[in-house]
Amino acid sequence: MRFNGRFQRVGQVALILSGVARPSALHQALHEPLVCHNPKCVNPRHLRWGLPRENTNDRIADGTAAIGERNPASKLTADQVHRIRSDNRIHRAIAADHGVSRSQISRIKKGAAW
């Protein structure tokens, strides 16, 4: 929305209008973890200022992060990942069976992905 002559996110405007000062330009309006799960909510009691990294951590804690099967770009299911981790064949063969790259198989086995 347009506020004070420039476009700003509605959550930020809600916090500003409620009198909560923004600590720095890097801070953004975040939902309080475990309080409100409605992404459209702009109730200032459900919002706080935070850094982008805090937002990521909150989404993981809330279970709303798009990781694993919840990621729309995911090609694998959790069951397939468990089978990949226990599969002792060469990465090329595992990758061919699952339609992913050898490097993705390597990341899964190292715990860097999934």
Q: Which residue has the higher pLDDT, 40 or 49?
A: 49
State pTM to two decimals: 0.61
User: In 3-state terms, what secondary structure has residue 39?
Assistant: coil
* pLDDT average, residue stretch 2-10: 91
Asked if 69 and 77 count as a contact pair (C-beta separation under 8 A), the reply is yes
What are the structure tokens assigned to 86, written together? 């226990």
- 24-33 average pLDDT score: 90
**How many whole angstroms separate alpha carbon 105 and alpha carbon 100?**
7
pLDDT digits (tens, 9 = 90+) for 42-78: 999 999 999 999 988 888 887 788 888 888 888 999 9
